[in-house]
Amino acid sequence: MDLSGRLIKGTGSYEIKELASQDSVLNHLDKGSKHLECTVAGTVAFKSDQVYGEWEFDVYKGADGNNVGVQIISPDFTPLASTCYQLRLVSTEAIGLYDGASGYIALTANSYIVINTWYRIKVTRTPDGEFTVFIKGGTFGSDDWTIVDVGGGIGTNPIVDISHITTKYFLFDLDAGDRITNIIMRNAVQQ
């Protein structure tokens, strides 16, 4: 899905920068590719009516204390809205799928990822509500998708949740030093 023309200015400050180095997870990008780097914490969003399908993006967590939030389904422009689903890379270096109404429905153990490393994340949601979260990059390698392991954490992956079925935005909630690039959305039609 082409996101040009769908960008909605959020809060915070951002710079568009050329990738300084293309580590293994970014080797699929063309030389000279750009990323969006947060310089002052805030949000940036894209218009989206997608509630089923795939969401993919490259993300870089810039510091230990940072919390990267990616609201894949968000009917309003509020981070952690009660009617959203958010993928979170939290300050303990865990990854979680968060339901704004009930909290984490899936969460890894702490230290699952490391800071200052590019990761490629893919979240899928089938029309029956089954979410699956995948990762590439860092110790997970760059060739094949790895299903995020929530052993030692909370919930299961995949997990079924059908609480939220409307959206208007695909929203990133970033802290200073966090980076995003290569955002791809593939819609699936509800059966």
- The pLDDT tens digits along the chain (191 residues) read 455 566 676 899 999 888 776 666 777 676 667 889 999 999 999 899 999 999 999 999 999 999 999 999 999 888 888 999 999 999 999 999 999 999 999 999 999 999 999 999 999 999 999 999 999 999 999 899 999 999 999 999 999 999 999 999 999 999 999 999 999 999 876 44
- Domain-by-domain residue ranges, the chain? 7-187
Q: What percent of the chain has pLDDT over 70?
A: 90
What is the architecture of the domain spanning 7-187?
A: Sandwich (2.60)
CA distance 138 to 143: 11
β pairing state of 103-107 and 42-47: unpaired
Per DSSP, the three-state class of 25 is helix
pLDDT by residue (tens digit) across 45-57?
A: 989 999 999 999 9
Q: Which residue in the block uniquely carries the two structure tokens 């050329």?
A: 18
Listed as own residue / partner, the contacts of 147-150 with beta carbons closer than 8 Å and 24 or more positions apart are 148/95, 148/106, 148/108, 148/112, 149/108, 149/112, 150/106, 150/107, 150/108, 150/109
* pTM value surpassing 0.75: yes
